[in-house]
Every structure is written in structure tokens, then in C-alpha cells.
């Protein structure tokens, strides 16, 4: 997809420039849409949209670097939208680079053919349009979090958080023979409180006449089993 888009952009740029040079060179501009669009052949020694005229060699070197960078990035390409984006950038960069290499006045100093003109706007060509469209698409894809390898930033963050939680849970688990064994110093449930002594069993018999049995508040505590009970006088 990247190669197909790049070849399409490059072919459109080369064909359009060939026609413009053959039909509009040294001629009056062609007015279209009531003067909103003009077709006029000009030569640009600078960057896109006639920026930085006079630095042709610098922009030639930059264009070569852009082409190499795109080709190296394409090795990790796994996204169709990014393939279209990089294809537009590659085709536009090569289209203007060919003008700088092979057109007058000299190799590496050639002037780019521009021919599309809008009111109050610099003259440009189809290669410039491809570069601008590819740059806008790159900004949109980056804003949506789509990466060149086809993944999204949100998915990567979720995977990183999941890996972090898994590592943290594994670190909290005890290892070695002490795992699953209670601490030696922790008291058991049996030793938490001493058992109260059982009350002595007496012979069963009929109830005796006498005062009522004392309330539970007056009875000795369970822990005071060794203290004799107080006798009540009739």
C-alpha cells in the first residue's frame, strides 16, 4: 500500500509537471473558476510553497534524508492508514527531489516546477499537496493514538498496567517453606484465654427451706473458684 500510494503521487506529479512545462512555459496564466484558480508555470528554488528560496542544496539534502527515513520506518509498518500517510510523504518528497536533481540550472540545484495558484496563496504543485496531506494525516493518526505498528497507545498502557499488577501480586506472595505456615509466635485459639474450672457436682436432693439463692451478681466469679462462698444466716 505504501509503494502504491507513493507511485501514484509521484506519477501524478511527474505527468502534471511535464504537461505544464510543455503548454504553459513562457505563456500567460490560465484563469479558471472566475479567477479563483490560476494555472501558471513558475520555478521554485526553495522548499514547498516557495519557502526558503536560495537554499536549494540544503533542501535537496533534507529531501534525501526524508526519503531514507521513510524507507527505514516502513520496515515496522503494520497500519494501513500509516501506509497511506507515509506513501503520500514519500511520493511528494521524491517528486520534488527529482526536480532538484535533474532540472536546470544544475544537479542538486534544480528548480522545482510549480503551477497551481490560488488568490493570496503561494504557487505549488501536486507533490507539495501530497506532502501537506500526508502531514495532516500523520497528525490525525498520532492524535488518535494509532501507532505505525498497528497498536494504540491506550492498549499499550492497559497492557503495561496489567503487567505491573501481575508483578506486584507475585511479589506479595510468600516463598519458601514458610509459605502457608502460621507464625511461631502467634498464640493459638486454645491459648488465648484460660478455660474456667468446672463447678463441683453435688448430690441431688430435695430443695431445702431457706432464703432464696443469691443473684448472679453476688455469686463468685468463674475465676475465683478457689474462694469459699459466703454463708447466709437464716
**Of 152, 135, 156, whose CA–CA distance to 144 is shortest?**
152
Helices (H), 77-234: 80-102, 126-143, 153-172
Secondary structure (H, E, C), 94-119: HHHHHHHHHCCCCCCCCCEEEEEECC
C-alpha to C-alpha distance for 93 and 70, rounded to whole angstroms = 10
Q: Based on DSSP, count helices (H) and strands (E) in the chain, helices before strands.
A: 5, 3
Angle value at C-alpha 86, between 77 and 123, nearest 5 degrees: 175
Of the listed 114, 163, 165, 175, which one is catalytic?
114
Sign of CA dihedral 102, 105, 108, 112: negative
Of the listed 13, 26, 99, 128, which one is catalytic?
128
**Residue tagged 535533474 (cell numbers):** 102
C-alpha to C-alpha distance for 127 and 96, rounded to whole angstroms = 6
Tell me whether residue 128 is one of the annotated catalytic residues: yes
Joined grid coordinates for residue 96: 520534488
Q: Which helix (H) or strand (E) holds 67?
A: helix 56-73
Joined grid coordinates for residue 72: 527505514
- Active site amino acids: 114, 128
Amino acid at each position: 500500500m505504501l509503494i502504491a500510494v507513493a507511485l501514484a503521487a509521484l506519477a501524478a506529479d511527474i505527468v502534471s509537471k511535464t504537461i505544464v512545462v510543455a503548454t504553459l512555459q513562457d505563456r500567460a496564466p490560465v484563469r479558471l473558476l472566475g479567477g479563483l484558480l490560476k494555472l501558471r508555470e513558475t520555478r521554485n528554488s526553495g522548499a514547498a510553497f516557495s519557502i526558503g528560496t536560495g537554499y536549494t542544496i540544503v533542501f535537496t539534502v533534507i529531501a534525501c534524508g526524508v526519503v531514507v527515513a521513510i524507507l527505514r520506518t516502513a520496515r515496522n509498518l503494520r497500519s494501513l492508514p500509516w501506509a497511506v500517510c507515509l506513501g503520500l510523504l514519500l511520493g511528494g518528497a521524491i517528486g520534488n527531489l527529482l526536480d532538484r536533481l535533474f532540472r536546470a540550472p544544475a544537479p542538486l540545484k534544480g528548480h522545482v516546477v510549480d503551477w497551481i495558484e490560488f488568490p493570496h496563496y503561494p504557487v505549488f504543485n501536486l507533490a507539495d499537496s501530497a506532502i501537506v496531506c500526508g502531514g495532516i494525516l500523520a497528525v490525525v493518526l498520532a492524535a488518535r493514538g494509532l501507532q505505525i505498528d498497528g497498536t494504540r497507545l491506550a492498549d499499550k498502557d492497559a497492557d503495561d498496567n496489567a503487567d505491573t499488577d501481575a508483578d506486584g501480586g507475585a511479589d506479595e506472595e510468600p516463598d519458601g517453606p514458610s509459605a502457608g505456615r502460621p507464625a511461631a509466635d502467634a498464640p493459638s485459639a486454645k491459648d488465648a484465654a484460660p478455660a474456667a474450672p468446672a463447678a463441683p457436682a453435688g448430690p441431688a436432693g430435695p430443695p431445702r427451706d431457706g432464703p432464696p439463692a443469691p443473684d448472679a451478681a453476688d455469686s463468685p466469679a468463674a475465676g475465683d473458684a478457689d474462694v469459699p462462698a459466703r454463708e447466709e444466716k437464716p
